[in-house]
Structure 1
């Protein structure tokens, strides 16, 4: 059975469109094809990254204080869950033209020199094994393909940096532009998720 990691970052919880699309994606997967590990950054938010936490990473494990062990364990656990997953699903609403700050706090703990990437004479090399990453991008307006879409290039650059290149972006845009536009966007996204679900479950 494959392992699927779901990361939701909407502050609206189950009312968030990105969360609803995530739930829709899970519901249409063949039963018994995946076991699901979930991270809800709304109910269990991460604090912004502090230097004390980075210092804990850079301290050899056998030399860490008890507090440093606890701080390092936050990142260690997140990375372990990402490594264990065969497929990652991200619910990513757009807040003020960027990714939610709670998602950024998680990603800051995934980028670890020597663990998820390394620097070489030829440039940085990602150390994570490639796997499908499904990104459910929900927006009130329409930004895909424009200079105002800062999410797509950021997420693409970040995941490529750590070795994850099989990215599937699913956009649901214009969600605040009337009921018809919202329904059309969600229907199109749902159809795209059906296609991706069939591919990753194969």
Structure 2
């Protein structure tokens, strides 16, 4: 059975285009028999700091009670990512880049020795064999344009961890051509292999 990790990051309570896309794609996978684990990153995700670094780089059986508490959030994100076959990321574009909560999630899961390692020939991702689908929405940032500072970074971060099968479904330029953009994104989502 395929296991999908769905991550939503929108701060909109209603009318989110990225959430409409992740809803549609999730439904497609569910109908194909996939198990879905959902996490709303906008509900709260901590930023990493020095205490976090000390906690996660201490072996689990040697952590203090405080370190175990600090590491628990990050370890939960990591376990969800490791268990998933497909990562479905709802990516609204805020000010030409990823929302802060998406950056924080990647900070939690990009962990040396767990999701990547350094070798004599450079970094090597440890999560190969997974697939990522990014449901991107934006008011005026076209996917892959000179002002799109999000999609390349997200593709790089997934690839850094070994996830090189990354596909974007984009409802971009919603401020200019909402109906056409949303229709094209829904059409692309409906053609995804589940």
Counterpart of 1:96 in structure 2 is 95
For 2:35, the equivalent position in structure 1 comes to 35
**RMSD of aligned alpha carbons:** 1.4
Moved >4 Å (runs of 4+): none
Q: Note the alpha carbon deviations across 1:150-196, whole angstroms, 9 max, x for none.
A: 1111011111000000000111111112xxx1111111001111111
Deviation at 1:94, TM superposition (A): 0.5
TM-score normalised to the size of structure 1? 0.91
CA distance in 2, matches of 1:109, 1:172: 27
1:194 to 187, 190, 194: 190
CA distance in 2, matches of 1:95, 1:142: 9
CA–CA separation in structure 1 for the residues paired with 2:13 and 2:89: 14
Three-state SS of the structure 1 residue aligned to 2:31 is coil
Structure 2: which 5+ residue stretches go unaligned?
none
Change (3 A) 1:172 1:32: closer
Change (3 A) 1:30 1:45: closer
In 2, distance between residues paired with 1:75 and 1:101? Answer: 16
Which segments of 5 or more consecutive residues in structure 1 lack a partner in the other structure?
none
Between 1:3-12 and 1:71-80, the stretch displaced more is: 71-80
What TM-score does the superposition give when structure 2 sets the normalisation length? 0.95
Tell whether the 8 Å contact from 1:98 to 1:151 is kept in structure 2 after alignment.
yes
Shift of 1:16: 1.1
Q: Deviations over 1:52-89 (max 9, x none)?
A: 01110112222211010111121111111111111110
Match of 1:127 in 2: 126
Is contact 1:83-1:129 (8 Å) kept? Answer: no
Cα distance in 2, alignment partners of residues 65 and 48 from structure 1: 20
Which residue does the alignment assign to 1:60? 59
CA shift, 1:14, in A, is: 4.4
How far off its partner does 1:41 sit?
1.4
